[in-house]
Structure 1
């Protein structure tokens, strides 16, 4: 059994009631499908006048003689009805058998479909829930190495493919095979000789169909990968539309997108051709079998007279009935191969190891009492160290600013403190406790983060600010906005704090978005604040307004400020000057200016108001 099928079972077993009921109704569907064909025999016999006259009500002689008893009893009823009421009532009786059997077949079909739908939609929901849970808990480092569009394709397209293909397995192993089985049993009862002749064709048909489906799974994997590529291009285009237009790069992106969808077109056509061939191929092979049966069986009817015309017509109808489930099985088997490829991608992501998790005995730390220390930190994103033997102490209540050229490792410090990444060597401690020994949730509860990129979600202003405090009142939201100097523009919006900011906050200016990000951190009110170039997106006036707010917010609070504009960190207790992952200078603003070193050069390169 395929490994991905085994992985799907735990999801399906949650809905085992629906599985059992689907199987139950499918069994009866298959039975009534066969009986519907068999019920044609008495009708045809009445029309052809071939009904055997039986005037004595037969007695049941056990299972071994049940076929003879059923035929004799039906003939007895037909004989009685014809003699008492005439041919019209007899026809009405035999036709009513067909109608009742057809009704029962379709009722069982409905209930079988009802329960498989509950199974499919339930499992789809559960897989999406588990996959999203995995996606949101995987470390930031995982996504820095992969296309976002590929992850989206697995969540959207691949899971749907799993749903659409795998749950045909119930029909693949229950409904269709049973329909074929019941039909063949009935055919064997009618004529063992003809049925053995049919069996000779089944292995040949199966071999031909399996050859057509070869390599289908490999092509499906390629198609699903390409689907992720084109979703990535679309996502990047929408995210960077201003840059694309500003650099007249529309044609370049159109070309890249068209190349991807053309590759997908070729793969999809190849897969579609094989899928589309399954049904007509199986039908053609079935028709060849039936044509041969007509030639062979006609001799039994005309020459040997070992089978009646009505029975032979029903036999041919049963043989043709096998074609529909046979086509369904061949088509479903192809789709299952596509589903296996999709499931492999889904479970690969779902089973991705999360390298940043809570230790077994991690503590729940609620307060920050003393200091943060970074001891002999080495960290690398790929091969070369970004931080080299880096050590720093940040006492409680102090503001420590990190400055330096781009690539010096400033933002990496923020990533390590919040455990978005883990150190390669060395240790980060809070109050003497390794942050790896603190529960992630409680560690991040101690910290507020304002990033250079003001990240807002397609929600109201209140919804965005209340991320860190879901039960915040309107008054608390407004107070946080005032501290961040954001309420001055929010109060003028049509719906105030209930105004939707649009996708990524695109209804607001850069400065407004950043002030809302600061308000979000203010509302959380953590003991440790990390500001990663928090004022870099602000104009001069907004920066002045926010700087005052930040200074008020940082009073009696431990703050790590990563700054590009040196004007924002002159009042810091300690300024750490970094270069290529190392500390080259350390002190307050006046002390560093007096040294006339790296910091002094950085200051001279920037003009202060």
Structure 2
């Protein structure tokens, strides 16, 4: 119930629908009981024609309320019908039909209002989860499988709606239906009702034993659902490689193994769940059978109960079975929902390690430059950077070079606060970046990465991501600076052409130029280029390089590069090895010093 309470917090904005649902459920439960009680006068008209009441009865006390009501309705029916028996029967049938109609009308209204609450909670949980998924740092997703996160925001949230939120429909309606029905059953026969109560706890104990292992089984099903979604997500992302290496059968086997486990867990879960309904029904019919025996004895032998009251009583007893089954089914639902809610809340309650201080500074200007002071950082156990120091003055271009794993991209991750330093401090204009709002920090920066991250949208919207409400003129101007306007104009719908998933309708060079256009449109004072040309052919590189040079003009830049062409005009080149600076200077100075940089050039780690 701990998770159930946490999920219920999301229902607060929709509480008015909850109250309306409760109100109409009370009316439904009342009319549900009354509709069966109304069968008594109808049966009296049919079977007790010799016992008509011609004088209005007098109310004596609560103990004889049932007899008084029975006689009063008999008197009214007799007065209305006179000697026409069918007239009285039509009146009583009309009364029963009206009661059943009212019961179902109130049931509809109760369900109508709870729908807004259920779907509202579903929407808010998904929105909150998406917000959290976007807020959490990149490091979180290096540990989590993306497919598992997708499973949580889709199937797990849906499971919460089917289980926890279904309980909200039952939490008032079914218990009240049982209470009102039992009150009328006591009114008809106290002795018979007390006899029923011996069997109800026994049935409840048997049903509860079935549901004990459901949470564990449900948890395994949901985890496996996340597993095969991850395989699908990875397959779609790497389809080109899978096909190139004829690895279809290997991935098929992995997927088949996951779906087999899902099949196995689901069978165990559903078979345990399916056991509840027949068990509950059999126990209910067993109670009805015992009632028929005990009540029949009261009618036929003891003569302490009349036949019409007993038939109506049996209807009321059966009326308890439906809500009792619904409550037992809901208890299984809660156990399944418990596992789903635990997985959803695990994401919602994850602390973001990259937080903000109280009252952070919202910085909008860039005055003097970036300084990295005594920074050490590790992703897991080994330090990638050790006591690293670097100053990037305003207007300067600083290039970082070195072999893979030397810590170049890590510096870009730390300056943008995708990760936080373990030791040391990074400053912008003498202000620790941890004291700035993340939003204002990233507003000062533009990022162009090796992998051009584009979205399944139009060219216009992909470039427009760089600036909110950018005009068409601004977007076109940015595209021109990025050498992208010419190829965009030749696309089928120009700037309104959809570029496909991850921009797969474009070449590598075209994608990279769109990324640059996006950064140009943002027009930040500080630009970070993370191996922006390493994946391009010579022709594309020339166009992209030209675009980069235009973009970097009069701007502060940190350039991470494999290719010499990208960095030879940098003010300072920093050569890294295993997270430490081994050389720094201009391109000419470093070549003359005949050290690591020259060795890298000679080994053609850079393409001259």
CA deviation digits over 1:163-191, x for unaligned, max 9? 11112222443111111111112111111
Q: Within 5 Å, which residues of 2 pair with 1:336-355?
A: 336-355=334-353
Match of 1:242 in 2: 240
Distance 1:322 1:569 in 2: 80
Choose the corresponding residue for 1:443, options 430, 435, 441: 441
SS of equivalent to 1:245: helix
Q: Is 1:571 aligned to residue 572 of structure 2?
A: no
Q: CA deviation at 1:362?
A: 1.6
Match of 2:581 in 1: 583
SS of equivalent to 2:390: strand
CA deviation digits over 1:488-523, x for unaligned, max 9? 110011111111111111111121111100110011
Match of 1:22 in 2: 21
Distance 1:124 1:492 in 2: 44
Distance 1:565 1:372 in 2: 24
Q: Is 1:56 aligned to residue 70 of structure 2?
A: no
Given that 1:42 and 1:51 are in contact with CA atoms closer than 8 Å, whether structure 2 keeps it comes out as no
Match of 2:178 in 1: 180
Given that 1:301 and 1:312 are in contact with CA atoms closer than 8 Å, whether structure 2 keeps it comes out as yes
In the superposition, the TM-score normalised over structure 1's length comes to 0.97
Given that 1:120 and 1:167 are in contact with CA atoms closer than 8 Å, whether structure 2 keeps it comes out as yes
Match of 1:265 in 2: 263
Given that 1:481 and 1:516 are in contact with CA atoms closer than 8 Å, whether structure 2 keeps it comes out as yes
Q: CA deviation at 1:301?
A: 1.3
Given that 1:275 and 1:335 are in contact with CA atoms closer than 8 Å, whether structure 2 keeps it comes out as no
Distance 1:81 1:567 in 2: 105
Q: CA deviation at 1:462?
A: 0.9
Match of 2:10 in 1: 11
Counterparts in 2 of 1:83 and 1:99: CA distance versus 1, 3 Å: same
Q: Within 5 Å, which residues of 2 pair with 1:138-149?
A: 138-149=136-147
Match of 1:552 in 2: 550
Distance 1:52 1:73 in 2: 13
SS of equivalent to 2:212: coil
Q: CA deviation at 1:60?
A: 5.3
Counterparts in 2 of 1:62 and 1:469: CA distance versus 1, 3 Å: farther
Match of 2:43 in 1: 44
Distance 2:597 2:295 in 1: 100
Choose the corresponding residue for 2:535, options 529, 532, 537: 537
Match of 2:399 in 1: 401
Counterparts in 2 of 1:491 and 1:176: CA distance versus 1, 3 Å: same
Match of 1:390 in 2: 388
Counterparts in 2 of 1:104 and 1:397: CA distance versus 1, 3 Å: same
Q: CA deviation at 1:49?
A: 3.0
CA deviation digits over 1:71-95, x for unaligned, max 9? 22211112123325x0111111010
Match of 1:83 in 2: 82
Match of 1:357 in 2: 355
Distance 1:370 1:83 in 2: 104
Distance 1:540 1:91 in 2: 96
Distance 2:173 2:403 in 1: 68
Match of 1:253 in 2: 251
Q: CA deviation at 1:335?
A: 0.7
Match of 1:154 in 2: 152
Given that 1:172 and 1:333 are in contact with CA atoms closer than 8 Å, whether structure 2 keeps it comes out as no
Given that 2:573 and 2:586 are in contact with CA atoms closer than 8 Å, whether structure 1 keeps it comes out as yes
Distance 2:466 2:90 in 1: 74
Distance 2:288 2:63 in 1: 30
Match of 1:501 in 2: 499
CA deviation digits over 1:451-471, x for unaligned, max 9? 111001111111111112121
Distance 1:379 1:516 in 2: 32
Q: Is 1:510 aligned to residue 534 of structure 2?
A: no
Distance 1:197 1:215 in 2: 32
SS of equivalent to 2:592: helix
Q: Within 5 Å, which residues of 2 pair with 1:426-465?
A: 426-465=424-463
CA deviation digits over 1:542-585, x for unaligned, max 9? 11011111112111100111001122211111111111101111
CA deviation digits over 1:245-268, x for unaligned, max 9? 111111111111111111111111
Distance 1:68 1:292 in 2: 25
Distance 2:30 2:491 in 1: 67
Counterparts in 2 of 1:65 and 1:44: CA distance versus 1, 3 Å: closer
SS of equivalent to 1:369: coil
Distance 1:430 1:235 in 2: 38
Structure 1's unaligned 5+ residue stretches are none
Q: CA deviation at 1:30?
A: 1.0
Distance 2:235 2:497 in 1: 27
Match of 2:594 in 1: 596
Match of 1:98 in 2: 96
Distance 1:490 1:87 in 2: 88
Given that 1:514 and 1:537 are in contact with CA atoms closer than 8 Å, whether structure 2 keeps it comes out as no
Choose the corresponding residue for 1:528, options 522, 526, 529: 526
Q: Is 1:274 aligned to residue 258 of structure 2?
A: no
Distance 2:347 2:476 in 1: 41
Structure 2's unaligned 5+ residue stretches are none
Q: Within 5 Å, which residues of 2 pair with 1:160-175?
A: 160-175=158-173
The 4+ residue runs of structure 1 with deviation greater than 6 A are none
Q: Is 1:202 aligned to residue 200 of structure 2?
A: yes
Distance 1:363 1:417 in 2: 17
Q: CA deviation at 1:50?
A: 4.9
Match of 2:132 in 1: 134
SS of equivalent to 2:51: coil
Choose the corresponding residue for 1:213, options 211, 214, 232: 211
SS of equivalent to 1:352: coil
**Is the deviation greater in 598-607 or in 337-346?**
598-607
Q: Is 1:114 aligned to residue 112 of structure 2?
A: yes
Given that 2:138 and 2:418 are in contact with CA atoms closer than 8 Å, whether structure 1 keeps it comes out as yes
Given that 1:575 and 1:586 are in contact with CA atoms closer than 8 Å, whether structure 2 keeps it comes out as yes
**Is the deviation greater in 7-16 or in 285-294?**
7-16
